Amino acid sequence: MKSTSLLLFFLLPFILTTCSKENTSQGQAKASNITEANNTTEVNITQAYSQELDPAPQIPQTFILTDIDERDINITLNENKIISQDISQSLILLNIFATWCPPCKGTLLDLNQLQKKYQKDLLVVGVLVNDDLNTTDLRHFIKKHNTNFYISYSEENTPLAMQIAKRLELPENFPIPLMVLYKDGELFRYYEGAVPIEIMENELKQALK
């Protein structure tokens, strides 16, 4: 299995790795990695923050996401709810990932297909964490993978990801990609690690009922 881990300073290690177990429960889905189990890749990246630790998760917080075309999306987290006046679709899929993470790149084609097929009801929002790509490199990455969904490279990406992890009561060591599905602002399901497109599409169909 390919796994990816990253370490953040700020008195709170924010380590992202891949997941090897599959476990589904109400409001949650943990899926095994789609990459081969006999290959492992360890990546350690350190990033320091000058700002103070975020308030407690129960306090509503607003984050401004921005893509390479300077299109902003304002997202407010209120406990396990998500609020955005900038999104018209009933389903929001946050994909927390990194461009250097092999399992993350392995999910891009599936997310492209889902965004295209369910564009009326679904908005996929990519949230880059610990990526030092400039806009030119990111444009190249998007073109290379024919990415058709929104990808934020805002400085508020990692604080957003940290708050989502807190609200999901995830350990500091959790896998990327971390995909969180919301229906009408309410948490519907989340996935730790890459999952087959069949599982994701089935969840979307269930959410649309």
Residue 111 resides in a domain: yes
**Res. 32: pLDDT tops 70:** no
Structure confidence at residue 57 as a pLDDT band (50, 70, 90): low
Residue 2 resides in a domain: no
CA dihedral of 130, 64, 59, 129, whole degrees rounded to 10: -10
Residue 169 resides in a domain: yes
Residue 53 resides in a domain: no
Split into its structural domains, the chain has a count of: 1
**What pLDDT is stored for residue 146 in this prediction?**
94
Q: How far, in Å, CA of 82 to CA of 151, rounded?
A: 17
Q: Which 8-state DSSP code applies to residue 193? A: S
* Token pair belonging to 1: 């299995």
Residue 153: which domain range? 7-47+60-207
Of the chain, the end-to-end C-alpha distance in Å amounts to: 34
Residue 55 resides in a domain: no
Residue 101 resides in a domain: yes
Of 104-113, 121-130, 170-179, the least confident: 170-179
Residue pLDDT, tens place only, 145-163: 999 999 999 999 999 999 9
Percent of the chain exceeding pLDDT 70 equals 72
**Res. 108: pLDDT tops 60:** yes
| Contact between 10 and 49 (Cβ < 8 Å) | yes
Residue 1 resides in a domain: no
Per the prediction, the chain carries an average pLDDT of 78
Q: How far, in Å, CA of 116 to CA of 135, rounded?
A: 24
Residue 21 resides in a domain: yes
**Res. 52: pLDDT tops 70:** no
pTM, two decimal places: 0.76
CATH number of the CATH domain containing 22: 3.40.30.10
* Token pair belonging to 59: 């306090």
Kindly state the average pLDDT of the residues 69-89: 95
CA dihedral of 80, 81, 83, 88, whole degrees rounded to 10: 120
Structure confidence at residue 54 as a pLDDT band (50, 70, 90): low
Which segments of the chain does DSSP mark as H helices, in order? 102-117, 135-144, 157-167, 197-207
**Res. 30: pLDDT tops 90:** no
Q: How far, in Å, CA of 42 to CA of 40, rounded?
A: 7
Residue with the two structure tokens 């299109």: 71
